[in-house]
Amino acid sequence: MREVLEWRRDVVETAASANRKLQRDLIRCCREDVLFFFKGFVDLFEPRLGDDVAGQSQVVPFIPWPHQIEAIEYADEWMGKRDIRVNKSRAQGASYLYSMMFLHRWLFHPMFKVNIVSKDQDAADNPKDPDSILWKIMFALESMPSWMRGEPKLDWVRSVTDHTLTNKRNGSVIRAYACTANVGSGGRAAVFFMDEIAKFPRAYDGDAVTSTQQITRCRIFCSSPYGADGAYFRLMHDATARDPIQMLSWIDNPTQNRSMYHVVYGRPVAVESKKYGNLPKEYQDPVWWGDLKRRLEDRGFDLGKGYRSPWYDNECLRPGANPVSISQELDMSFTGDTARYFPDSLVDRLLRDTGKPPVARGELCFTSDDFRPRWLPLADGRFQLWFVPELGKYAPADLYVVSADIGMGLGGSGGSNSALTVLNRRTMRKVAAFAVPNMLPYLFAEMAIATCHWFRNDRGQPAFLAWEANGPGQEFQKRVLETDFRDFYYRKQTEIVTKKATNKPGYWTQKRSDLLGPYREALLEGQYVNPDAAALEELRQYSIGPDGEPFHSAENQKDDPTGAKKAHADRVVADAVGWIAALDFGRVAGGAVRDVLNVMNVTPENAPLGSYAWRRGQYLVNARREKHKTKW
């Protein structure tokens, strides 16, 4: 970096001082040597700050890594002549690499035309978005000395409306498109660049490949894998194609493969230490390594497979990372590693550390007139309690959430359970569970309301109720709304910034990861204490699909007698819904308010009982009530 910057200072600044011969020589060198052009005149915008760029400007010269140099030389030889297939890890600079090669051709090759295609128009060309391809090209162009790039409007024209960049001196054009079925039809181009084609809409990606075949001799298919389907998957697995696949892997990236190692008999062993460096000292510490190994295995990673590095380990432990996403994004696997969404090691640890047999069992008896429950102790009762009822009859007063996942209630060997979970949202500990396969949804709703009335707070108010509204949840919801019970969860609007509560009851699952992801994180971090061994065992029934989304094992069974598929009910969903509801409804844990509260938005429900914040919340409720009375 320092040498390149010093060269630029000495040579480029000298050329800027009206040294026409030097300017012509530099332009000739750039035309003949694309790597000279990259190092000497291309700037890139790098917003990520880390160990490699700390203290440096976010605008840096494009100094290609060794594996980028191979890709540049291959593309320089075959651009405009044959199709190029590229499989890459994320964060390898491929989009910048090919974009700057197009800029090189645009500057120095007459009548060169390249069409750039991305998943949508903003990804291809948005003058306000540094992630769009044409933004990158314009940034590099405008960073060059004027004697090389020419003057805007006089020597080149940028049209935001037409998504084009035109070189008026030599007739070269760069144009950006969104992916459509007939993208670029009727035109001609030297190159068609399809950036992140694996993420193109599945309805158009195959048609886009077909429609561009007769438009150009050179299509560059560049992407990270994204599932075992789609046009990119078929292109990369075409056994009849003879052109080599260009690989841009993190393993060849000198900023990411430092101290590369593999695991042998449970211990890290350096790989080619002379090339990649020795293991860091902490990796040689058995205690430190044991903790890292446990955390990685808890997330489901198989440490016995492939190469790793400290950078790679950090990526694996970042929030939201899982074996499938890492396998696709970094290891360039199209199918991803088969993995459980809740790793076996996590389940085993929870069963060992938190799993406890219930201390009481029984039934709740009630009438559908007032839902006032009475506890009946039974050794084989369906209700399981992890506390001893007061006087053998009452649940202790506290802050509770009752959450439900509703099955069809058909019973039978293949029946899907309807499940209730009772979570103490002050301690974030599961205190009761109820599961039954043969109770119809409307009857199960009555049981849930009665449960809320049994689990009351110290003011005699019933527990907060939440349920998954998908599928049979609609029948459950209808019965709840027919009663006078109104202490239940209203789902949030996720499509707006404010995420205000709607008038729609129940939690609606659109992406299963939005529901199960926070719950998995809570289990990993010990925030949710679940003593229910049956519920913990059911965690093993969820796997990760190629798209990174969790799915229930019964979803892919053609002979699933319940027909529930994604709506398959179980204890896990009931637990997860309860966790979501507890977080949204005050997030009180360990006597501390975890939400960002202030003196104007605190309420009695989201503050510890008896605290100043709780009294302030009561005052605000009364003040609003009086203000409403005197409004007129």
Instruction: Please name the amino acid found at residue 148.
Output: M
State the pLDDT at residue 357: 95
Radius of gyration, alpha carbons of the chain: 31
State the pLDDT at residue 611: 63
CB 289, CB 281: distance < 8 Å: no
Fold observed for domain 353-585: Nucleotidyltransferase; domain 5 (3.30.420)
Residues 6+ apart with CB under 8 A from 88: 94, 222, 223, 224, 247, 248, 249, 332
Q: How far is Cα 267 from Cα 40, in angstroms, rounded to an integer?
A: 44
Query: What residue ranges of the chain have pLDDT lower than 70?
Result: 49-56, 228, 335-339, 411-415, 492-503, 546-548, 554-569, 585-602, 606-608, 610-613, 616, 624, 626-632
Q: Where are the domains of the chain?
A: 66-252, 261-337, 353-585, 592-632
Chain length of the chain: 632
What token pair was written down for 606? Answer: 């989201």
Q: How far is Cα 574 from Cα 570, in angstroms, rounded to an integer?
A: 7
Pairing of strands 156-159, 164-167: antiparallel
pLDDT tens by residue, 95-136:
999 999 999 999 999 999 999 998 888 888 888 888 899 999
Q: How far is Cα 372 from Cα 388, in angstroms, rounded to an integer?
A: 20
Q: How far is Cα 486 from Cα 505, in angstroms, rounded to an integer?
A: 10
For residue 129, the Cα-to-chain-centroid distance in whole angstroms is 21
State the pLDDT at residue 347: 87
Count of CB atoms within 10 A of residue 482's CB? 11
State the pLDDT at residue 562: 37
DSSP state of 464: E
CB 548, CB 325: distance < 8 Å: yes
State the pLDDT at residue 594: 40
Instruction: Cite the DSSP H helix spans in 130-279.
Output: 133-143, 146-149, 205-212, 230-236, 273-276
State the pLDDT at residue 629: 56
Residues 66-252: name the CATH superfamily. Answer: P-loop containing nucleotide triphosphate hydrolases (3.40.50.300)
Q: How far is Cα 413 from Cα 388, in angstroms, rounded to an integer?
A: 32
Closest to 354 in 3D by CA, of 318, 386, 383: 386
Please calculate the CA angle 343-348-353 and round it to the nearest 5 degrees.
Answer: 125
Token pair 């080619």: residue: 272
State the pLDDT at residue 558: 38
Q: How far is Cα 601 from Cα 613, in angstroms, rounded to an integer?
A: 10
φ, ψ for residue 242, nearest 5 deg:
-110, -15
pLDDT tens by residue, 484-528:
998 888 876 544 444 455 568 888 888 888 899 899 888 988 889
What token pair was written down for 18? Answer: 């009206």
How far apart are the two ends of the chain, measured CA to CA in Å? 71
Instruction: Please name the amino acid found at residue 519.
Output: Y
